Chain A
Amino acid sequence: MWVKLILLLLFCLMIFGAVHFAQPRESEQPSSSNNAVHSLRLLTWNIGYAELEDDTRAHDKDLPAVAEVILREDADAVALQEVTGNAQLKILLGLLQGKYRGAVAQQGRGDRFEAVLVKDTGARFIPVPVGDRYAQGVSFKPSDDTEQVLVLSAHADAFNAARRRTYTEALLDWAEDRAQSSRVFIAGDFNFELKAGNETNLYTDNLKHDSESYSHILRQFRDLGRAAGDTAINDRRIDYVFGPTSLQHVGRVEVLRNAAVGRMDHWPLLVEVGP
Chain B
Amino acid sequence: MFTLLKLELEKLLRARSFYLSFIVLIGFVALMLWGFYTYAARKTGGQAVEQFKYTYESKQYFNGLTFALYSLLFSFTLLLPIFVSMSAGSQIAGEARAGTLRMICTRPISRASLIMSKFLVTAFHAALLLTFFIGLNLVIGLIFVGWGNLELYPGPLNLVDAPGKIMRDEALMRFGYAVLSGTWALLVIAALALLCSVVFDSPAQAIVMTIAVYLTLYIVGRVEFFEHLRPYFFTTDMDFWRDVFKPDIPWQNLWHYAAVCGAYTTGLLLTTVIIFERKDIVT
Q: Do A and B bind each other?
A: yes
Q: How many residues of A contact B (CB 8 A)?
A: 49
* B-side contacts of A208, CB under 8 Å: 155-156
* Nearest chain B CB to A65 CB, angstrom units: 29
With contact pairs A169-B54, A194-B155, A199-B158 given, residues A11 and B267 touching in the complex (Cβ less than 8 Å): yes
Query: A216 to B259, Cβ gap below 8 A?
Result: no
A23 to B63, CA, bound (A): 35
Does chain B have a CB within 8 A of A52?
no
Query: B162 to A226, Cβ gap below 8 A?
Result: yes
A16 to B262, CA, bound (A): 11
* A-side contacts of B274, CB under 8 Å: 4
Query: B52 to A215, Cβ gap below 8 A?
Result: no
* A-side contacts of B263, CB under 8 Å: 11, 14-15, 18
Query: A8 to B163, Cβ gap below 8 A?
Result: no
B residues 245-274 in Cβ contact with A at 8 Å: 252-253, 255-256, 258-260, 262-263, 265-267, 269-270, 273-274
A169 to B154, CA, bound (A): 17
A234 to B224, CA, bound (A): 9
| A-side interface mostly | helix
With contact pairs A15-B263, A21-B256 given, residues A212 and B56 touching in the complex (Cβ less than 8 Å): yes
Does chain B have a CB within 8 A of A110?
no
Residue among B113, B115, B230, B266 making CB contact with A11, cutoff 8 Å: B266
Residue interface mask A179-213, B partner, CB < 8 A = 1: 00000000000001111111111111001101110
* B-side contacts of A13, CB under 8 Å: 262
B residues 100-156 in Cβ contact with A at 8 Å: 110, 112-113, 115-116, 153-156
Query: Taking CB as reference atom, which chain A residue is nearest B274?
Result: A4
Q: How many residues of B contact A (CB 8 A)?
A: 50
Does chain A have a CB within 8 A of B11?
no
Query: Taking CB as reference atom, which chain A residue is nearest B250?
Result: A23
Does chain A have a CB within 8 A of B74?
yes
A226 to B160, CA, bound (A): 13
Query: A11 to B270, Cβ gap below 8 A?
Result: yes
* A-side contacts of B267, CB under 8 Å: 11
Residue among A3, A7, A10, A207 making CB contact with B110, cutoff 8 Å: A3
- 22 CB-based A-B contacts, threshold 8 Å: A3-B113, A3-B115, A3-B273, A7-B273, A10-B262, A14-B265, A16-B259, A17-B255, A21-B252, A21-B256, A169-B53, A173-B53, A196-B161, A198-B221, A198-B230, A199-B222, A200-B158, A203-B157, A207-B156, A211-B153, A218-B163, A219-B54
